[in-house]
Amino acid sequence: MLLKTFGWSFAITAAGFALAGVLWGWKGLALVAILSVLEISLSFDNAVINAGILRKMNAFWQKMFLTLGILIAVFGMRLVFPVVIVAITAKLGPIEAVDVAINDHHRYEQLVTSAHPAIAAFGGMFLLMIFLDFVFEDRDIRWLGPVERFLAKLGKVEGLSVIVSLVVLIIAATTVATSVPVHGGDGTIDKAATVLLAGVGGLVTYLVVGGISGFFEDRLEEDEDEAEESAPAEKKSGGSVVGLAGKAAFFMFLYLEVIDASFSFDGVIGAFAITNDIFVMALGLGIGAMYIRSLTVFLVRKGTLDDYVYLEHGAHYAIGTLALILLATIKYDVPEVVTGLIGVALIGLSFWSSVARNRKETAAGDGDGSRQEVASGV
């Protein structure tokens, strides 16, 4: 099971390390290894979130996530995306932007870093919406019982997630975004308008992609219920459920890719603390991204989220923290190790709570009353 799931990750790691050693020597090999570890540590919570979505998809789309998805993650987000950002923000042509990325590493780093406020606002708003929609939803299983019960009551207010996100965005735009330090120079610059525009873009992207995928998922569930009630009639209909499932899975796949993109922002920016060579960066972060995808599939196939029910809670709280950290990095430098450790700590605590809950259930037996007593982790 382990080798089957992580086999491609192991193979790509070996090939990537060998390529790094040939092209850049021992120094390049070390940089690629460090970047891989950085990406894994920053994105472990991403794997848990992805697993919660991926388990709803069939084997074909799970395979697409590991094949086409990894190409998008490595070449799209770690290689092409920063160059596109440079081209847009610096108003360069595509060829000139590629030339800067390859031949002028210092200027490339400056241009990508100067675009960080917009990137952080977009990704921060997208991730914040994921977190808020999770905590404002009423759930049967609660990790932080009293807190999550209170938030679920607040969540009955229509559109509260959007309202809170917009308030947070306005606060960020009028505080940290008004005096952003100039990279490589003295003084500050006002990025309030940029942050507002990018933040609204992240919010709209979440509402559109998440809304469409949720719509098709609900339709799919309705058709499945109808199929169970009248199986003969469904056979006569020509298999509309299969087509609808394909649409649902497609938009959920898009949703997954946008989530992955939002998680990768801090990794791409943080990688400049290690190297400004675009190819070393793409290779190292790409290897890390491959492990995150393999870990996602592993969690799905092992049913880990069903066995350790608070893992999703811990991952979502880590997402909420990451969203706020991304907004803070518009002005302040937050070490990547801090971001990574917070995520690992929250997921570790949720895992420990899940283990404790399982032990209580085992000790209490199968009685309904006993199960209700351990419904909350804290």
Of 41, 200, 207, 199, nearest to 120 by C-alpha is: 199
pLDDT at 233: 47
User: Which region among 22-31, 151-160, 255-264, 345-354 has the lowest average model confidence (pLDDT)?
Assistant: 255-264
pLDDT at residue 196 tops 60: yes
Mean pLDDT value across residues 135-156:
90
Facing residues of 181 across strands?
188
Give me the residue label for tokens 């960020």. 172
Average pLDDT, the chain: 81
Are 350 and 321 spatial neighbours (Cβ–Cβ below 8 Å)? no
Higher pLDDT, 20 or 77: 20
Mean pLDDT of 166-175: 95
Coil, strand or helix at 333: coil
Q: What is the pLDDT of residues 198-242, one digit of tens each?
A: 999 989 988 987 787 677 666 656 655 665 565 554 444 444 333
Residues with Cβ within 8 Å of 124's Cβ and at least 6 positions away in sequence, in order, are: 172, 199, 202, 323, 324, 326, 327
Question: CA 98 to CA 104: how far, in whole Å?
Answer: 10
Residues 198/122, Cβ–Cβ less than 8 Å: yes
Higher-confidence position of 14 and 214: 14
The pLDDT value recorded for residue 225 is 61
DSSP letter at 79 equals: I
Which of 184-198, 262-276, 364-378 holds the top average pLDDT?
Answer: 184-198
Share of the chain above pLDDT 90, in %: 20
What pLDDT band is residue 195 in, cutting at 50, 70 and 90? very high
Residue 243 has pLDDT above 80, yes or no: no
Please tell me the predicted confidence (pLDDT) of residue 211: 80
* Mean pLDDT, range 255-284, rounded to an integer: 77
Mean pLDDT of 179-193: 81
pLDDT value at position 216? 66
DSSP letter, residue 237 = T
How far is Cα 264 from Cα 39, in angstroms, rounded to an integer? 8
pLDDT at 373: 43
SS (H, E, C) 175-215: CHHHCEECCCCCCEECCHHHHHHHHHHHHHHHHHHHHHHHH
Between residues 245 and 190, the one the model is more confident about? 190
Q: Going along the chain, which residue ranges are E strands?
A: 180-181, 188-189
Closest CA to 124 of 334, 371, 345, 370: 334
**What is the pLDDT at residue 377?**
58
Interval 150-161 mean pLDDT: 92
DSSP codes of every residue in 77-119 = IIIIHHHHHHHHHTT--HHHHHHHHHH-HHHHHHHHHHTHHHH
Task: Give the residue among 155, 250, 258, 135 at the shortest CA–CA distance from 207.
Answer: 258
Predicted pLDDT at 212: 76
Give me 172's structure tokens: 């960020």
Amino acid at 217: E
SS3 label, residue 278: helix
Please report the pLDDT score of residue 239 as a whole number: 41
Residue with tokens 């599939």: 297
Judged against a pLDDT cut of 60, whether residue 292 lies above it is answered with yes
pLDDT one-digit tens code per residue, 309-336: 898 899 899 889 988 998 998 988 888 7
